[in-house]
Amino acid sequence: MNDFNELINGLCRPFPPETYQPRHDGHGVYIPIRYYIERLNQVASDHWSHERVGEPIFYEDDKFVHTVVKVTIMGRSHMGEGFSRYQTDDKGKIINRHYAIRSATKDGIRDAISFFGIGKDLESATKPTAAKVKENERVDHSIQKLICIKCNRELSDYEVRLLQSHKVKLTYCEDHIPSHFLKK
């Protein structure tokens, strides 16, 4: 398969409905990374690769690790960012460092391949939660309460709608959301 467009068309085919999983926060669905990797391996074979760019960054206050990943398909590349929570013991030492880095790297792969259009069918499956939420709509987060990753305060319905309307995946309260997340 030499033609880049043909390859991308194969990669961007919609995923079967059985691959969709409910998100842990109860808002929409996601496709587990294994299905993306499987699709890349089946369709692109040895025409794709990924590499982590730079060292992972650990945010102690938030207990997040951040990675940057470069995915290349037939010589064309996109960068993606990945995040994952890490756990610490009672002395503050990270107990799942390798797993957290690996998880953030996989999240970065998923982010990078989205720039190729892979997984775009997921947008239509999650449209109600990704669309701008009207002020008077009730937000159902009864499955799991959303907590600010900075101050550990439960988010209000307004704050959840604010995050959704700006497509922010991390759970910040209004006081702690970084200003660059609020730009249109």
- Write out pLDDT tens, residues 36-94: 999 999 999 999 999 999 999 999 989 999 999 999 999 999 999 999 999 999 999 99
CA distance 28 to 128: 8
Residue 49 corresponds to which amino acid?
A: S
User: What is the predicted pLDDT for the residue at 2?
Assistant: 55
> The pTM is what?
0.66
Tally of CA atoms within 13 A in the half-sphere of 29 that contains its CB:
17
Find the mean pLDDT for residues 130-148. Answer: 48
Average pLDDT, the chain: 83
- Whether 142 and 26 have beta carbons less than 8 Å apart is answered as yes
**More confidently predicted of 122 and 53:** 53
Both tokens of residue 31? Answer: 């496709």
User: What is the predicted pLDDT for the residue at 174?
Assistant: 83
User: What is the predicted pLDDT for the residue at 3?
Assistant: 86
pLDDT at 130 over 60: no
Q: Which residues pair with 124 in a beta bridge?
A: none
Question: What are the sequence ranges of the domains in the chain?
Answer: 4-129, 132-184
132 — pLDDT class (breaks 50, 70, 90): very low
CA distance 44 to 76: 13
Write the pLDDT tens digit of every residue in 147-178. Answer: 877 777 888 888 888 888 888 888 888 888 88
**More confidently predicted of 171 and 144:** 171
